[in-house]
Amino acid sequence: MNVGITCYPTYGGSGIVATELGLELATRGHEVHFISYSNPIRLDAGMPRIHYHEVEVSTYPLFQYPPYCLALASRMAEVAESYDLDVLHVHYAVPHSISAMLAQQMLAPKRRLPFITTLHGTDITLVGVDPSYFPITKFSIERSNGISAVSDYLRERTVEVFGVANEIRVIKNFVNCDRYKPDEEKAGASQYAPAGEKLLLHLSNFRPVKRALDCVRILAEVRKSTPAHLLMAGDGPDRGPAEHLARELKVEKHVSFLGKQNHVERLIPLAHVLLMPSELESFGLVALEAMACGVVPVATNVGGVAELITDREDGFLEAVGDVAAQSARVVQLLTDGDLHYRMRKAGRWNASERFCAEKIIPMYEKYYEDVVKGA
């Protein structure tokens, strides 16, 4: 099958899922065409059956804001016609689904070009509910030939907020269990913690919803009981405030701000505990990646996270903003070797049995077939 994929090419979860999906599809023999304004961050464009088509946005004095949505629609239509695409798969509703709909209409006199919109979270819970975007987000979702969501929670929220009557197929996020795997030796950890401290990890785009500053507060509390070093991977608006807070709490020597990381599968296994104190997560992809790597997540009980993490079995779920409770869980994991062993083994099993790529990718392939056939 010839599949066109459009996503944000940055470090957000929707772009990562879309890129990993394209790579998995290519290994299964499909021709995958990425259409975006830059090369997606995890995309290996040299891989067989992977193609990248850049969207160029012209700037003119008349345009205060470059019309990316229109340029994307034109590029989608051009690629679909030139490479005989069977389906467009757009990730994150705003504005990709409306661009796909325009591309579909451009080609309508010649051929049918169905498109699927995958909802990832803030396109529904944050951006989509903005009064400026609500009507067109609802319209473009309802005009999609297929709609998928990454969790039951997100499907329910979409129906509740937008009143969408169309079928929304839940296809949960996945992880490549061969690439994301435990590192029992953790030899590389010594470069961050030469004194042998156990590593905590936070990985995000440092938006306020991720509550990165809570991670610094948790570290400060944990270090009152046991040695620990915090790795902060990623970048975004809250990185500067987090660095400032680390200095304020006098733990700056025990925090490493690593910036954006292209190979998180090498970094994650070095840690003992993942910190995910988010205000909202529709699924929590980084927690799944951590569990696959034998790293125990301490997260917040929000959104669709409980569909992934079973509290006290393969991770801990606490209330948003409850730094004391989250810190106490981290201390337990760092000081009780048997507890950590049981939970990391349970997490790896959960990831392998429920969320490995070979279990999830066929669901997307079946959906493509259904949509192409008009089912």
Q: Residue ranges per domain, the chain?
A: 2-174+357-373, 187-354
- pLDDT at residue number 121: 82
Question: Residue 127: its pLDDT value, please?
Answer: 67
Total-model pTM: 0.93
CA angle, 225 then 228 then 229, to 5°: 150
The predicted pLDDT at position 36 comes to: 95
Which pLDDT does position 122 carry in this prediction? 77
Q: pLDDT at position 42, please?
A: 81
Q: Would you place residue 340 in the very low, low, confident or very high pLDDT band (cuts 50, 70, 90)?
A: very high
Instruction: Give the pLDDT of residue 375.
Output: 54
pLDDT at 364 over 90: yes
- Confidence band for 128, pLDDT divided at 50, 70 and 90: low
Q: Would you say residue 10 has pLDDT above 70?
A: yes
Q: Rounded to an integer, what distance in angstroms lies between the CA atom of residue 215 and that of residue 212?
A: 5
| 198, β-bridge pairs | 228
Tell me what the pLDDT averaged over the chain comes to.
94
Q: Has residue 96 got a pLDDT over 60? A: yes
pLDDT of residue 187 exceeding 90: no
**Residue 331 CB contacts under 8 Å (≥ 6 apart), including other chains:** 222, 225, 226
Given this chain, do its domains 2-174+357-373 and 187-354 carry the same CATH topology?
yes
Considering the segment(s) 187-354 as one domain, its CATH architecture is 3-Layer(aba) Sandwich (3.40)
CATH match for 2-174+357-373 among 3.30.43.10, 3.20.10.10, 3.40.50.2000, 3.40.50.720: 3.40.50.2000
Decide if pLDDT at 139 tops 80.
Answer: yes
The alpha carbon of residue 122 and the mean position of all alpha carbons in its chain are separated, in whole angstroms, by 11
Question: Range with the lowest mean pLDDT among 70-79, 120-129, 207-216?
Answer: 120-129
Q: Which residues pair with 199 in a beta bridge?
A: 229
Average pLDDT, integer, range 67-83 = 96
